[in-house]
Amino acid sequence: MATTAEHAKGIGVAALRKEDRKFLTGHGRFVDDLKLPGMLHMAIVRSQFPHADITGIDTAAAAAMPGVTAVLTGDDLEFAAGVPCASNPTGDMVHPVRPPLAKGRVRHVGEPIAVVIAGDRYAARDAADAVEVSYAELPAVLDVEAARADGAPKVHEELDSNVALLLTHRTDGIDDAFSKADVVVEHTIRNQRLIHVPIETRGVVADWNTANDDLVVYSSTQVPHFLRTFLAIVCGVSEAKVRAIAPDVGGGFGSKLNAYAEEFIAAAASRKVGAPVKWIEERSEAMLATCHGRAQVAHMQLAATKDGKVLGMRAHYVQDYGSYLQMLTPLISQLTFLMSPGAYAIPEVDVKVTNVYTNTVPTDALRGAGRPEATHAIERMMDILAGELGMSRTEVRRRNFPVEFPFTTAIGLMYDSGDYAKTLDRLLELSDDKETFERRRTEAAARGKLLGRGLSTWVEVCGFVPSDVARNALGLTPGGWESSTVRMHPTGKITVITGTSPHGQGHATSWSQIVETELGVPFDDIEVIHGDTAFAPYGLGTYGSRSVAVGGTAVHLAASKVRDKARLVAAQMLEASPDDLDFEGGAFAVKGSPDKRTTIQEVAFRAWQAFGMPEGVTPGLDETVFFDPPNCVFPFGAHGCEVEVDRETGKVEITGYIAVDDCGNVINPMIVAGQVHGGVVHGIGQALYEIAEYDSGGQLVTGTLVDYLIPSAADVPHIETYRTVTPSPTNPLGVKGIGEAGTIAASPAVVGAVCDAIGVRDLDMPLQPETVWNAIQKGGAA
């Protein structure tokens, strides 16, 4: 690899983003911005009950309304398969079949029952409201306790019970660890149900050209290639005739890592009516029908010596799947299971996950996807253990960090590289010493404010995933590789095509930096294409903090191949041996004769001409690489925060937040810091504000942004970001993911700080003022 210093915007530079201008000027192209000739609009009739048989659908009034083209039900649209799930952790898990439009029975409020296709969105919505659905209500189970009770109504009658799947892992010495421990601490920790809330909701434009049977689907998705494959399977059409396009995507956070009923319905409806069909999700629909996240309870026990060494962990997680399996529903609690020991060397474990169906919206990946749940549980337990031992929260952590890397956990994951004490030490250097803090705490108490501090030391598994691990350890349908093409044009400009599919992560910028470093071609001469299956080699998309470690590596390797081939052509041009050429600053030069040189742009032109090519070298500089990583990557860090709790109202204000993260080498530090900021605020949202709640009738009571609070600028603190650098040995760039780090780290640090402030062992999130005030009233605060 050429050195960084000679490249103005190569790897390691805080290059400003090339994608910004269109968004700043209002010229982004999101799904709802698309207009196709003859395009119609779709509105959806959704179930009003959590569990019911549909006894009739009267579409007559709706069909007669002005502007209405069609009213379609499950009987009108035929599908070759149900909504897909690509995860089967044990290999023998039964996947209930879910038709995209309900047939006969509905299992959660918001499930699609019928659609109206009309000339504009107002007419479509009006007519959808005029569709009369008759229901015979069935008893519903709305939480995991009710679903697991004896004689509970079953969400899926064909299954034995509402328990969908059990995962277990138990090491031989676990009972011994608990019997010889000096202390055992036990606690139940809840990760409440959350909603993703990207500011752009989902949206689809489906254009089925019935003359050729070609299908083009524009969707606000993180995974256009998966969508293409699933559209082919579910809609019963050749995959070679399907083109899926993710245009600009307004955030995802896992909610768009899916292939949804509505995407299939829009495609089938377009075929039925012979016109392009647009569906733009309303925010209230997004709350009601896009998958939710978290919804997991952890029953935890730690066994430890009196000097703080953890000997064993028992963890039983109970995961609410909701009513159906979305694309990766079973994977999420499986990731909790895998990351249950967190950043600690815990020699003996007994881990179990019970996954349960309920009559609620399906749960699936939400920023961090199973790892925030694992981290929150183990981090809260480390605080509780420290309290039990009378030891500092930092010390109990430090005594349990693994020291040698790679480190294989008792679950069997191999953490690739790390130096956990380094990030913790840096956090402590950046924080007030105990004396200073205690002085401020006393001062604050005099004005009715309770000060507290909290921390987390986190690690995550990301950079998904070696394909054989996907199959053998995770039970995923697809592998975990990624693709890239690097194409040099005759004029020396470069097109990079990536299989990743960004929705805010800045891949156009970062991938250009990787290519500039590798080929010496200026950043501004490099264009990055993504998100269109007609152009890109198959890509697995953007999720799970995988893009840079897997997709970025594919870009790097494709650029390397271009350079290797260019070397052969340059050698011919310079009449030298390929081994006698240096490559620097975008040019090949003969060793010892720096005047004998040719730029890579000149080589690209020659390779296009293909005049006098060396023996066996094909024309052009255009290389595609599929990269299958040898391991996942394991970024880590230490986050600390300080809170001020109002003793009278219970309101929490975060007054300081410091993030020290290590994601290995960094392509663009500005983008990395931005990912941490956003991630931390997402975690603060979970800790303090957000919760999705159903009432006893199965109705979502947090169905708008009035009821479901995501943080505003005024609700969150200034966030200080710092990094240490421990390169990953897993990929040649030495990089690890960072997109989910902040979310994984933040919630335990914030909850720990509030508990410290008011003097309680633990609190269930979100720490809204009422929760905190009640805890204070119960004698929490001295």
Partner 1 sequence: MKSAVTITVNGEPRTAEVEPRTLLVHLLREHLNLTGTHVGCDTSNCGACTVWLDGEAVKSCTLLAVQADGREVTTIEGISENGDLHPMQWAFHEHHALQCGYCTPGMVMTAIKLLEANPAPTDEEIRHGLEGNLCRCTGYENIVAAVRAASGVTV
Q: Which residues of the shown chain bind partner 1 in the complex (CB under 8 A)?
A: 16-17, 19-30, 32-33, 35, 120-122, 197-201, 248-251, 253, 282-284, 503-506, 670-671, 673-674, 676-682, 704-706, 710-714, 716, 718-719, 742
The tokens for 441 are 């705490």
Q: Are residues 526 and 533 in contact, defined by beta-carbon separation less than 8 angstroms? A: no
Q: Are residues 77 and 132 in contact, defined by beta-carbon separation less than 8 angstroms? A: no
**CB 80: neighbour CB atoms within 10 A?**
11
**CB 267: neighbour CB atoms within 10 A?**
29
Q: Are residues 671 and 252 in contact, defined by beta-carbon separation less than 8 angstroms? A: no
How many angstroms separate the CA atoms of 726 and 351, rounded? 30
Secondary structure of residue 651 in the 3-state scheme: coil
* DSSP designation for 447: T
User: Of 711 and 729, which has the nearer Cβ to partner 1?
Assistant: 711
* Alpha-helical regions (H) of 524-668: 553-574, 600-609
The tokens for 693 are 């709640």
How many angstroms separate the CA atoms of 216 and 219, rounded? 10
**CB 293: neighbour CB atoms within 10 A?**
28
Q: Are residues 681 and 716 in contact, defined by beta-carbon separation less than 8 angstroms? A: yes
How many angstroms separate the CA atoms of 744 and 254, rounded? 14
User: Of 375 and 542, which has the nearer Cβ to partner 1?
Assistant: 542
User: Of 473 and 705, which has the nearer Cβ to partner 1?
Assistant: 705
User: Of 5 and 713, which has the nearer Cβ to partner 1?
Assistant: 713
Type and span of the H or E element at 408: strand 407-408
User: Of 5 and 706, which has the nearer Cβ to partner 1?
Assistant: 706
We find the least distance from the C-beta atom of residue 641 to partner 1, in angstroms, to be 13
How many angstroms separate the CA atoms of 329 and 98, rounded? 14
Q: Nearest Cα to 77, choosing from 119, 126, 43, 114?
A: 114
How many angstroms separate the CA atoms of 590 and 250, rounded? 49
* Alpha-helical regions (H) of 236-370: 261-273, 283-289, 329-338
Strand segments, DSSP code E, in 119-248 are 132-137, 163-170, 183-194, 203-209, 214-219, 242-245
We find the least distance from the C-beta atom of residue 50 to partner 1, in angstroms, to be 22
Task: Give the count of alpha carbons within 13 A of 395, CB side only.
Answer: 9
User: Of 120 and 137, which has the nearer Cβ to partner 1?
Assistant: 120
Q: Nearest Cα to 195, choosing from 274, 93, 286, 271?
A: 286
We find the least distance from the C-beta atom of residue 522 to partner 1, in angstroms, to be 19
We find the least distance from the C-beta atom of residue 194 to partner 1, in angstroms, to be 12
We find the least distance from the C-beta atom of residue 679 to partner 1, in angstroms, to be 7
We find the least distance from the C-beta atom of residue 660 to partner 1, in angstroms, to be 16
How many angstroms separate the CA atoms of 630 and 481, rounded? 10
User: Of 17 and 299, which has the nearer Cβ to partner 1?
Assistant: 17
User: Of 352 and 677, which has the nearer Cβ to partner 1?
Assistant: 677
Q: Nearest Cα to 423, choosing from 659, 112, 240, 614?
A: 659
User: Of 146 and 710, which has the nearer Cβ to partner 1?
Assistant: 710
We find the least distance from the C-beta atom of residue 282 to partner 1, in angstroms, to be 6
Q: Are strands 348-357 and 310-322 parallel, antiparallel or unpaired?
A: parallel
User: Of 51 and 278, which has the nearer Cβ to partner 1?
Assistant: 278
The tokens for 119 are 């000339």
We find the least distance from the C-beta atom of residue 270 to partner 1, in angstroms, to be 20
We find the least distance from the C-beta atom of residue 706 to partner 1, in angstroms, to be 5
User: Of 281 and 756, which has the nearer Cβ to partner 1?
Assistant: 281
We find the least distance from the C-beta atom of residue 23 to partner 1, in angstroms, to be 3
The tokens for 770 are 């009422």
We find the least distance from the C-beta atom of residue 523 to partner 1, in angstroms, to be 15
We find the least distance from the C-beta atom of residue 715 to partner 1, in angstroms, to be 8
Its sign, for the CA torsion 170, 176, 178, 183, is: negative
User: Of 16 and 403, which has the nearer Cβ to partner 1?
Assistant: 16
User: Of 406 and 669, which has the nearer Cβ to partner 1?
Assistant: 669
Type of residue numbered 704: T
User: Of 255 and 360, which has the nearer Cβ to partner 1?
Assistant: 255
* DSSP designation for 474: I
We find the least distance from the C-beta atom of residue 266 to partner 1, in angstroms, to be 18
We find the least distance from the C-beta atom of residue 762 to partner 1, in angstroms, to be 25
Q: Nearest Cα to 278, choosing from 130, 106, 123?
A: 123
**Rg of the chain's alpha carbons, rounded to an integer?**
27
We find the least distance from the C-beta atom of residue 299 to partner 1, in angstroms, to be 31
- Residue 660 CB partners (closer than 8 Å, separation 6+): 423, 424, 426, 427, 430, 637, 638, 639, 722, 723, 724
User: Of 30 and 626, which has the nearer Cβ to partner 1?
Assistant: 30
The tokens for 82 are 């149900």
User: Of 566 and 719, which has the nearer Cβ to partner 1?
Assistant: 719
We find the least distance from the C-beta atom of residue 210 to partner 1, in angstroms, to be 26
How many angstroms separate the CA atoms of 710 and 564, rounded? 49
Q: Are residues 401 and 417 in contact, defined by beta-carbon separation less than 8 angstroms? A: no
